[in-house]
Amino acid sequence: MKPFEKYLTYSSLLRDLLDIYLTLRQHLQEMGFSEDELDNPPTYTFKMMSLQEKFNNEFNEVVRFLQHYGFKVTKDEVSDFIMPKLLKINELTPLRDGDTERRDTGDKDFE
């Protein structure tokens, strides 16, 4: 684990960023979006745009914060560290078409 990863793991910065993403994902669920529609949504809500902007700003703030505290880190490195966590949120909050399957469906005994 890289030093910045260890720092973020125990920092509220990462938690805040993930909370914003989870809220956005839940909103997309409520609106009935599919994974395919995320590239070109049929409609844009104020909440969706606000959360997207908030996520982007928070991500940039995390990168600036890490750099300010002396971590020699790039946006790509931070993104690579955060992406598996975002994918896990996607898995736990699947959209309409079920493009993201949960791995632990619990029905293996019934197949």
pLDDT in tens, 12-65: 999 999 999 999 999 999 999 998 898 888 889 999 999 999 999 999 999 999
**Global pTM value:** 0.83
What is the domain extent for residue 35? 7-96
Instruction: State the total domains in the chain.
Output: 1
Reduce the DSSP state of residue 72 to 3 states and report it: coil
Distances (CA, A) of 106 to 7, 11, 39, 97: 34, 33, 31, 20
Rg from Cα positions in the chain: 16
In a domain, 67, yes or no: yes
Judge contact between 93 and 22, C-beta under 8 A. Answer: yes
With bands split at pLDDT 50, 70 and 90, how would you rate the model's confidence at 99?
A: very low
Reduce the DSSP state of residue 41 to 3 states and report it: coil
